[in-house]
């Protein structure tokens, strides 16, 4: 419990500093844009008076440090700002986009875990055989395959050539059309999860091999305990320590990759929102999306670390 509280305290103390750093970095990078956000919002045919009024209303005519601290003040009040000519709230766009990114990340993670557990365990149980060698080759290929390239390939094969799955179009709600929802999310989730599946397969295989070589496994099997029982009850559970510690970074990778995958498959998630913000020179939208994604990544890492601390004391051998 003391370890748990110390870890939680350190993470909570570091969280606002990391959020401030992310906000400052994104704000600084967006300041290099040479395109006037007033022109992006009102159009190139807008009058100079209208452009000046828009800049003054949005605060773009003030020094960047005043804009930054004004933006920070809004964040402390829960205000992410507005964007566009209609001054749409950034929080409203994020509220509709963020759940889609979370769904894509979760499904991609689920695919990665299922594939990694199955093939990682098989590779460890049949190590140095053709099964292990085949899984090793496939996992290396999966790790080396970029998600965006795989996404384009899936669209070409499964949508254009075979017309099996949709690669674009509206995303139906799961409660209203489960089959349509799963069909729409199948390709982006697989493209997102496959590289992570290859990496986790290697980690699980290595952890399982290390556990299988320990003395308690040979002692239990020599005492008459069936090998499948030892593997299921002890070896597999003990071997999960390392994969769990790596899970936080993998989730962060999935969330980052989801932003690119959403643009390729035209999913209205955080990636599409950020892409629109960059293309239309809407700094408040880009800053809000980047900040929420970064905070989500930090929170996920805290949860994974806490899970590791809770699991670790329960690891037992036969």
Please write the tens of the pLDDT for every residue from 58-94. 777 777 778 788 878 888 887 888 887 777 888 889 9
Q: Across residues 124-150, what is the average pLDDT?
A: 90
The more confident residue out of 287 and 301 is 287
3-class SS of residue 163: coil
Q: Which two tokens stand for residue 114?
A: 């299922």
Please report which residue ranges of 213-240 form alpha helices under DSSP H. 215-222, 227-230, 236-239
Q: Which two tokens stand for residue 130?
A: 């053709």
The confidence score (pLDDT) of residue 34 equals: 67
Domains, the chain, with CATH or none: 1-90 (no CATH), 91-315 (1.10.3720.10)
pLDDT tens for 262-276 read 889 988 888 888 888
Residue 62 DSSP code: S
**Pairwise CA distance, residues 55 & 132, whole Å:** 62
pLDDT tens for 93-103 read 999 999 999 89
pLDDT > 70 in the chain, percent: 91
Q: Which residues, in sequence order, are bridge partners of residue 88?
A: 83
3-class SS of residue 292: helix
3-class SS of residue 50: helix
Q: Which two tokens stand for residue 141?
A: 């290929």
What is the chain's mean pLDDT, rounded? Answer: 82
């Amino acid at each position: 419990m003391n370890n748990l509280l110390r870890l939680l305290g350190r993470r909570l103390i570091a969280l606002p500093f990391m959020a401030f750093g992310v906000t400052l970095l994104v704000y600084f990078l967006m300041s290099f844009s040479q395109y006037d956000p007033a022109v992006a919002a009102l159009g190139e045919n807008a009058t100079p008076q209208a452009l000046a009024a828009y800049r003054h209303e949005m605060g773009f005519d003030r020094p960047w440090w005043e804009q930054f601290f004004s933006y920070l003040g809004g964040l402390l009040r829960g205000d992410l700002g507005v964007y566009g000519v209609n001054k749409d709230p950034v929080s409203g766009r994020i509220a509709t986009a963020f759940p889609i990114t979370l769904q894509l990340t979760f499904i991609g993670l689920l695919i990665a875990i299922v594939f990694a557990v199955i093939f990682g365990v098989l590779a460890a149980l049949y190590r140095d055989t053709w099964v292990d060698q085949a899984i090793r080759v496939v996992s290396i290929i999966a790790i080396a395959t970029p998600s965006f390239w795989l996404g384009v390939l899936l669209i070409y094969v499964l949508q254009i050539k075979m017309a099996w799955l949709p690669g674009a179009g509206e995303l139906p709600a799961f409660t209203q059309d489960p089959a349509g929802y799963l069909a729409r999310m199948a390709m982006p989730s697989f493209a997102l999860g496959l590289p992570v599946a290859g990496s986790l397969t290697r980690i699980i295989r290595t952890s399982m091999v290390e556990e299988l070589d320990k003395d308690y496994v040979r002692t239990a099997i020599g005492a008459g305990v069936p090998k499948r029982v030892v593997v299921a009850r002890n070896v597999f559970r003990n071997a999960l320590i390392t994969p769990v510690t790596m899970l936080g970074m993998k989730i962060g990778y999935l969330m980052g990759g989801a932003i690119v995958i959403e643009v390729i498959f035209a999913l209205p998630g955080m990636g599409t929102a950020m892409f629109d913000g960059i293309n239309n020179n809407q700094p408040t939208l880009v800053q809000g999306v980047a900040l929420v994604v970064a905070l989500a990544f930090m929170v996920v890492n805290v949860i994974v670390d806490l899970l590791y601390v809770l699991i670790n004391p329960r690891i037992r051998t036969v």
